[in-house]
């Protein structure tokens, strides 16, 4: 029996989606805040030193591969496949496909971890411009970080299915386990194990995160058992879809590795400044993009499985509008106060004010392009939801090639470390126009009068926020230069709450739709 079409949503459907988005937002906010605390702990203990550069560089290797084995490629291929099975009430086939995916992921990461243990020195030396002592430390850290990647890969499969079953709280609460273990583990053991405390805490946190997600998923009937026979399942088409998506995600990994390599050539502390800028950029981006995309991707996949094109257009419009309503004020507020935020949160111990300035400089372009980057990523998911894997992969390849070329050109043009974030934003903006052309038969924002009206209203509602930010920059003294103190933290909290108050008041006055999420 087929499910009812989604093109005529009821009020309860809209309310449910809003509540799900709010759940994801709160969990992601908690996760990102813990991520900042984790970064604060690491910068306090290791500063912007050569050791810190090695930790950040080496951890970035598996962190990049998360796009390939975890939430990026895996969920983009997995959710459409499972959506079709669940829409057709094929629960047993879905459970067998789950067992196959878990089996092959487990089998893959055991030899991969052993390989990095044996050839860790060669890998770090090839990928970086580090000295011999730094290469040695990186080779010791790498196997633990790769094993962590295995746990996160499994966790992504678990959480992807939890999202399809609308268990959004458990899907997005599981990463909190990881952060709590890493923060406490490094604080308790760094005096004894030094940089290796990060490795031990990371693998323990990843294991706990995956375990929590799996135990929750068991309630839906899924079991972790070894099975290698794909007969009678959609394993082959799912693997094919994952292969296409992985090519695009693999290009993102190459691009990120190139950016870290270029950062390692720009002087001591550059890798740490670059890594920290990504944390502060990915905090608002991750909170708000996840809140919308996590709910939209399963809904878009289900609409496509039911051949409901009206629902595809409506949900695409709503997602773009809500993304803009959240990311535009975030851009204004965080861009205006980025140096203050970084100084208050990170500056202390071995992390100096000069390090804060360098980090804020890199962060700026990321923020300015945040809305266009998120729009690109959302429309990419529209392509994945409608199983246009090959076309979306080509878009990703083009975007990443542009990114790498622009990085090199901008660095040669003396743009410095800021070249990395500037190239990223420009490449996403240019490829956004390509993806708009590809999905024009599914949804065309440029001809959507309803979307234009909503975006115009959002822009008007953000004018008070922009005026407030400009007045602050003109009148406020540099109170933050001494870094992390309780006084400065109090001032930053007051500024943050005041900014949020202006934001919400203006949105309520202009009747921005997404405000209803906060009022329900």
pLDDT digits (tens, 9 = 90+) for 67-100: 666 665 566 677 777 877 777 778 888 888 888 8
List the domain boundaries for the chain: 12-519
Percent of the chain with pLDDT over 70: 92
Per DSSP, the three-state class of 348 is strand
Whether the model pTM is above 0.85? no
User: Which has more confidence, 308 or 277?
Assistant: 277
Q: What pLDDT is attached to residue 65? A: 72
For 267: left if phi > 0, alpha if psi spans -120 to 50, otherwise beta; the answer is: left
Q: What is the pLDDT of residue 338?
A: 92
Q: Is the pLDDT of residue 405 over 90?
A: yes
| Cβ burial, residue 415 (10 Å; 0-12/13-18/19+) | middle
Share of the chain above pLDDT 90, in %: 29
Beta bridge partners of 217: none
Q: Is the dihedral of CA 487, 489, 495, 497 positive or negative?
A: negative
pLDDT for 15: 62
Asked if 333 and 469 count as a contact pair (C-beta separation under 8 A), the reply is: yes
Per-residue pLDDT reduced to its tens digit, 59-69: 877 777 776 66
pLDDT confidence of residue 89: 78
Q: From CA 21, how far away is CA 509, in angstroms rounded?
A: 22
Among candidate residues 177, 102, 186, 187, the one with its CA nearest the CA of residue 141: 186
Distances 223 to 65, 95, 158, 378, 392 between C-alpha atoms, Å = 25, 7, 11, 31, 32
Q: How far apart are CA 512 and CA 461, in angstroms?
A: 8
- Sign of the alpha-carbon torsion through 465, 470, 476, 480: positive
E strand or H helix at 184, and its extent? helix 168-193
pLDDT of residue 518: 47
Q: For residue 267, give the nearest of 56, 418, 50 by alpha carbon.
A: 50
- Residue 24 CA to its chain's centroid (Å): 13
Q: Does residue 517 register a pLDDT over 70? A: no
Q: What is the mean pLDDT of residues 246-258?
A: 82
Are the C-beta atoms of residues 81 and 161 closer than 8 Å to each other?
no
* Under 8 Å between Cβ of 451 and 320: yes
Q: Which of 212, 217, 10, 203 is nearest to 113 (CA)?
A: 203
**Is 2's pLDDT higher than 70?**
no
CA angle 344, 277, 422 (to 5 degrees): 135
How far apart are the C-alpha atoms of 153 and 20, rounded to whole Å? 23
**Contacts of 359-363 spanning 24+ positions with Cβ under 8 A:** 359/273, 359/276, 359/277, 359/280, 360/277, 361/416, 361/417, 361/418, 362/273, 362/274, 362/277, 362/417, 362/418, 362/420, 362/421, 363/277, 363/280, 363/281, 363/338, 363/421
Binned at pLDDT 50, 70 and 90, residue 47 comes out as confident
pLDDT at 163 over 50: yes
Q: What are the two backbone dihedrals, phi and then psi, of residue 109, each rounded to the nearest 5 degrees? A: -80, -20
Q: What is the pLDDT of residue 443?
A: 86
Nearest residue to 379 (alpha-carbon basis) of 145, 76, 144, 94:
76
**Tokens at residue 196, please?**
């290796």
Residue 463 has pLDDT above 90, yes or no: yes
On the question of pLDDT at 12 being above 70, the answer is no
Amino acid 340: pLDDT: 92
What is the structure's pLDDT at 72? 58
User: What is the DSSP-derived secondary structure letter of residue 224?
Assistant: -
What is the model's pLDDT at position 498? 92
Output the pLDDT for position 403.
95
Q: Is residue 147 predicted with pLDDT exceeding 60?
A: yes
Maximum average pLDDT range among 6-10, 167-171, 512-516: 167-171
User: Could you report the per-residue pLDDT of 364-398, keeping only the tens digit for each?
Assistant: 999 999 999 999 999 988 888 888 888 988 999 99
Q: What is the pLDDT of residue 48?
A: 65
What is the predicted pLDDT for the residue at 13?
55
pLDDT digits (tens, 9 = 90+) for 407-422: 999 999 988 899 999 9
Residue 167: DSSP 8-state: -
Residue with tokens 């394993």: 235
pLDDT 10s digits, 199-230: 999 999 999 999 999 999 998 888 888 888 88
Instruction: Express each pLDDT in 255-300 by its tens digit.
Output: 988 998 898 888 878 888 888 898 889 888 878 887 787 777 777 8
- Within 394-458, strands assigned E span none
Question: What tens digit of pLDDT does each residue of 418-446 get?
Answer: 999 999 999 999 999 999 999 888 888 88
DSSP 256-303: HHHHHHHHHTS-TTHHHHHHHHHHHHHHHHHHHHHHHHHHHHHHHHHH
Model pLDDT, residue 257: 83
């Amino acid at each position: 029996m087929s499910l009812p079409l989604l093109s005529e949503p009821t009020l309860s459907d809209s309310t449910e989606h809003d509540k799900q988005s709010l759940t994801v937002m709160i969990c992601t906010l908690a996760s990102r805040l813990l991520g900042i605390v984790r970064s604060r702990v690491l910068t306090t203990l290791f500063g912007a030193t050569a050791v810190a550069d090695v930790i950040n560089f080496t951890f970035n290797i598996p962190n990049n591969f998360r796009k390939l084995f975890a939430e990026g490629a895996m969920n983009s291929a997995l959710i459409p496949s499972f959506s079709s099975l669940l829409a057709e009430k094929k629960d047993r086939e879905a459970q067998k496909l789950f067992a196959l995916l878990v089996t092959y992921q487990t089998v893959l990461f055991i030899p991969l971890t052993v390989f990095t243990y044996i050839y860790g020195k060669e890998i770090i030396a090839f990928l970086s411009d580090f000295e011999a002592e730094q290469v040695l430390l990186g080779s010791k850290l790498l196997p633990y970080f790769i094993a962590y990647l295995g746990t996160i890969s499994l966790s992504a499969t678990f959480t992807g299915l939890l999202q399809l079953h609308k268990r959004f709280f458990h899907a997005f609460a599981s990463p909190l386990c990881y952060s709590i273990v890493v923060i406490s583990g490094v604080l308790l053991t760094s005096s004894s194990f030094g940089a290796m405390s990060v490795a031990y805490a990371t693998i323990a946190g990843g294991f706990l995160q995956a375990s929590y997600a799996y135990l929750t998923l068991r309630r839906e009937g899924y079991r972790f058992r070894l099975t290698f026979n794909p007969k009678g399942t959609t394993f082959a088409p799912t693997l094919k879809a994952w292969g296409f998506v992985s090519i695009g995600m693999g290009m993102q990994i190459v691009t990120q590795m190139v950016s870290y390599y270029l950062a390692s050539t720009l002087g001591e502390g550059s890798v740490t400044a670059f890594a920290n800028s990504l944390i502060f950029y990915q905090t608002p981006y991750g909170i708000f993009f996840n809140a919308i995309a996590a709910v939209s991707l399963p809904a878009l996949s289900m609409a496509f499985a039911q051949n409901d094109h009206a629902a595809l257009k409506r949900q695409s419009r709503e997602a773009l509008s809500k993304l803009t309503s959240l990311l535009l004020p975030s851009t204004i507020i965080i861009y205006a106060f980025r140096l203050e935020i970084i100084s208050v949160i990170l500056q202390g111990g071995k992390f100096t004010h000069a390090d804060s300035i360098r980090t804020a400089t890199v962060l700026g372009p990321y923020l300015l392009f945040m809305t266009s980057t998120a729009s690109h990523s959302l429309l990419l998911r529209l392509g994945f939801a409608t199983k246009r894997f090959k076309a979306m992969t080509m878009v990703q390849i083009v975007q990443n090639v542009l990114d790498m070329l622009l990085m090199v050109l901008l660095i040669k043009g003396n743009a410095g470390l800021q070249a990395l974030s500037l190239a990223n934003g420009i490449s996403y903006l240019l490829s956004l126009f390509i993806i708009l052309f590809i999905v024009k038969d599914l949804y065309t924002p440029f001809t959507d009068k309803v979307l234009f009206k909503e975006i115009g209203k959002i822009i008007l509602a953000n004018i008070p926020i922009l005026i407030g930010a400009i007045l602050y920059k003109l009148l406020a003294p540099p109170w933050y230069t001494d870094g992390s103190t309780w006084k400065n933290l109090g001032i930053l909290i007051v500024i943050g709450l005041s900014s949020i108050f202006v934001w919400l008041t203006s949105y309520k006055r202009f009747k921005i739709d997404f405000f209803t999420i906060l009022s329900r």
